[in-house]
Structure 1
């Protein structure tokens, strides 16, 4: 139902809210990532009946299709350098399907029909993987790129 005739936005798919803040020491940028996945969008039909007055005038009825969906969220805490990618995810859901195959007519015979039927169960996992690449942009508009000198001097990687 749309209140006061204003359209509403319903997101179907992935939604990524990012909140950036700088740590107290001024050396680290903290990104709060809140990825959400909206799945199983379905329309539910509601019938609305309007009665404009009590004098017996015609009543008006109409159907409203409202979407229903399920939201799944991932929450994690990681530390990455500029240009590095973080992968979040796992098994989103498992779909179990049962197939029954039978020999025509013989599979329908009570008791003996079981000899002519085959039941197969299939378990199909669906995976959700969210890739987030952190990129720090300098005031000049250039990307901050880290140079890895750790293999030479055992020192940490430093920005160029």
Structure 2
């Protein structure tokens, strides 16, 4: 029997919080029974929307029998704060929620990696690149400059451990970073960009097929766009009449949605090109 394995289906999504606020959308309502557990920081106030109690009406029917009518109401809805971690039920398709948000142009998928890791071993994923930066190392009478590389983009590391009760203990480290030339440094004529990073690290225990979501990794940006007429816009003082400025604010939230599955290793060796017919008929 081979080693036990765990499959982690991951979606890195970015939500436009400005559009969500304008539409009054609550992405994941914890009060409707869609989740089985949650963790909140308490740094932001939580809003509760309480519906009226059920309406009870009593009347006398045509046959003289008393009839009691109970009109149910929607349960209390708790609006989550800006930094939270919650776990969904196995019978709630989290992919349907993502699809609905995409159709409303409220959510953009950044990456969708599927990772398989052996029990107790780490698996990692990177969709991005590496940028060079010089490192000055002083010596005796001279200074040496070496070039090192640093990763950026969408990264994920996770380590699964299958527990004796068949639950899956996960240690997950998601990260999204991008080059930030606004805070760049200039060293010896070289421009070194900074990194704008959103990272989280958490551990928890799930059942096979359960999903969890890490939310609240915010990215607030202010962009100043200047448009001007060539030549005339560069004239001191008078050039202001030939240019325009547009200040744009963006408020994006990073969400990491994961579903965990146990994978049974195959006991049959895979066919190879040395066995032409079984290899071609495998699929």
Length-normalised TM-score, structure 2? 0.30
Larger relative contact order, structure 1 or 2 (CA cutoff 8 Å, min sep 6): 2
